[in-house]
Structure 1
Amino acid sequence: MPLRMRLTAVTLDCADPERLARFYRQATGLALHPGSTSDFAGLTHEDGLFIGFQRVDDYQAPRWPDQTVPQQIHLDFSVDDLDEAEALLLEAGADKPDHQPGGDRWRVFTDPAGHPFCLTRR
């Protein structure tokens, strides 16, 4: 019988946890965790999911799609309207790489710390 596990947290390395928490808070609407500091910030969802952002000295951002510095983690989010979500994310500080392998099925972005993430239609 397989062990039944439930994902409760994801933590991203970065140079500036507060900045990355602000970006994902604006993008997702998740609540800032009350214990957030300049070295470790977090966001929480009502279902208990926690997204953490931890300061790492000499952090090197991923170079997606180039793998000279691998992507380290990859998050996927579903949205109702790809164009609307893209505009909001770019305004919030995301970048959209030229390389877009998903065609019209999904779009790849990078957060302010360089981590790639994708948007798909809900």
Structure 2
Amino acid sequence: MRHMKLREITLDCPDPLALAAFYQQATGLTPHPASDAEFAALVTGGDGLALGFQRVDDYRAPRWPDQTVPQQVHFDFEVDDLDEAEADLLELGASKAAHQPNEGRWRVLTDPAGHPFCLLKG
């Protein structure tokens, strides 16, 4: 098999610029200058990996842990302090999922478009 390099992970959403702004504030990644209302991206810098956000008409947010609308993808972010990171992200517009399977080790939040993601104790 040929070597493949992962270049981008793209999330469906109703508002690419708003979701890119949330993740930019949460991660410190750099907005791509060609971002617009249909597709926005954040870039990591040296490795060339980008996080993309594409507009989808009639977008339906994932339901977690219910699979009525599957989560499709989720991120895990390592943090130093779960409580502090959770508070910061809630202030940025994230929501805390009602179901928390192991709140002492990780927290399940959802971004403003409803995608679940986890904070892991570093």
Listed as ranges, the matches of 1:32-111 within 5 Å are: 32-46=31-45, 47-111=47-111
Shift of 1:36: 0.2
Structure-2-length-normalised TM-score = 0.94
**RMSD of aligned Cα (Å):** 1.2
Structure-1-length-normalised TM-score = 0.94
* Number of residue pairs matched by the alignment: 121
One-letter identity of the residue aligned with 2:53:
F
Identity of aligned residues (%): 67
Deviations 1:7-42 (A, max 9, x none): 221000000001100000010000000110000000
User: After TM superposition, what 4+ stretches of structure 1 lie above 3 angstroms from structure 2?
Assistant: 2-6
Q: Distance in 2 between matches of 1:103 and 1:91?
A: 19
Tell me what 1:23 maps to.
22
Deviations 1:63-116 (A, max 9, x none): 111111111111111111111110110000000012011231111000000000
Gaps of 5+ in 1: none
- Given the superposition, is the C-alpha separation of residues 78 and 3 from structure 1 closer, same or farther in structure 2, using an over 3 Å criterion? farther
